[in-house]
Homo-oligomer: A and B are copies of this chain.
Amino acid sequence: MTVTAPQGFEAAGVAVGLKSTGKPDVAVVVNRGPLKVGAAVFTSNRAKANPILWSQQAIQDGVVEAIVLNSGGANCFTGSFGFQTTHQTAEKAAELLGVSAGDVLVCSTGLIGTGDETFRAKVLDGTAQGIAALSADGGVDAARAIMTTDSVSKTSTFQGDGWSIGGMAKGAGMLAPGLATMLVVVTTDAVLTAEQADAHLRAATRVSFDRLDSDGCMSTNDQVSLLVSGASGVTPDEDAFRAALAEVCGDLARRLQADAEGASHDIAIHVVHAASEEDAVEVGRSVARNNLFKAAIFGNDPNWGRVLAAIGTTEAEFDPYRVDVEMNGVRVCSDGGPDRPRDEVDLTPRAVSLVIDLKVGDAEATILTNDLTHDYVHENSAYAS
Interface flag for A289 (CB, 8 Å): yes
Tell me the complex Cα distance, A311–B46, Å.
8
List B contacts of A312 (CB < 8 A): 45-48, 218, 220
Tell me the complex Cα distance, A58–B374, Å.
44
List B contacts of A374 (CB < 8 A): 374, 377-378
Interface flag for A291 (CB, 8 Å): yes
The smallest beta-carbon distance between A43 and chain B, in angstroms, is 8
Tell me the complex Cα distance, A71–B215, Å.
31
The answer to whether A77 touches B291, judged by C-beta atoms less than 8 angstroms apart, is no
The smallest beta-carbon distance between A75 and chain B, in angstroms, is 12
Bitwise, A320-361 to B at CB < 8 A (1) or not (0) is 110000000000010111100000000000000000000000
Given known pairs A47-B312, A111-B305, A301-B381, the reply for A77 and B336 (CB within 8 Å) is yes
Tell me the complex Cα distance, A224–B221, Å.
42
Bitwise, A188-216 to B at CB < 8 A (1) or not (0) is 00000000000000000000000000011
Tell me the complex Cα distance, A81–B311, Å.
22
Interface flag for A113 (CB, 8 Å): yes
Instruction: Determine which residue in A76, A78, A111, A318 has the highest number of CB atoms from chain B within 10 A of its CB, and name it.
Output: A76
The smallest beta-carbon distance between A296 and chain B, in angstroms, is 6
Interface flag for A303 (CB, 8 Å): yes
The answer to whether A296 touches B381, judged by C-beta atoms less than 8 angstroms apart, is yes
List B contacts of A335 (CB < 8 A): 79
Query: CB within 8 Å of B: which of A269-321?
Result: 289-292, 295-296, 298-299, 301, 303-306, 308-314, 318, 320-321
The answer to whether B217 touches A380, judged by C-beta atoms less than 8 angstroms apart, is no
Tell me the complex Cα distance, A304–B76, Å.
12
List B contacts of A333 (CB < 8 A): 77
The answer to whether B77 touches A308, judged by C-beta atoms less than 8 angstroms apart, is yes
Number of copies: 2
The answer to whether B218 touches A112, judged by C-beta atoms less than 8 angstroms apart, is no
Tell me the complex Cα distance, A309–B337, Å.
39
The smallest beta-carbon distance between A216 and chain B, in angstroms, is 6
Tell me the complex Cα distance, A372–B373, Å.
11
List B contacts of A321 (CB < 8 A): 79
The answer to whether B220 touches A113, judged by C-beta atoms less than 8 angstroms apart, is no
The residue that A298 contacts in the complex, of B298, B310, B313, B381, with Cβ under 8 A, is B381
The answer to whether B218 touches A46, judged by C-beta atoms less than 8 angstroms apart, is no
Interface flag for A173 (CB, 8 Å): yes
List B contacts of A377 (CB < 8 A): 295, 298, 372-374, 376-377
The residue that A299 contacts in the complex, of B298, B373, B381, with Cβ under 8 A, is B381
List B contacts of A74 (CB < 8 A): 305
Q: List 16 A-B contacts (CB under 8 A).
A: A74-B305, A77-B305, A77-B320, A77-B337, A77-B338, A113-B304, A113-B338, A215-B291, A216-B291, A217-B310, A218-B309, A218-B313, A220-B308, A291-B372, A299-B380, A376-B377
Give 5 nearest A-B pairs by CB, closest first: A112-B305, A299-B381, A47-B312, A295-B380, A45-B312
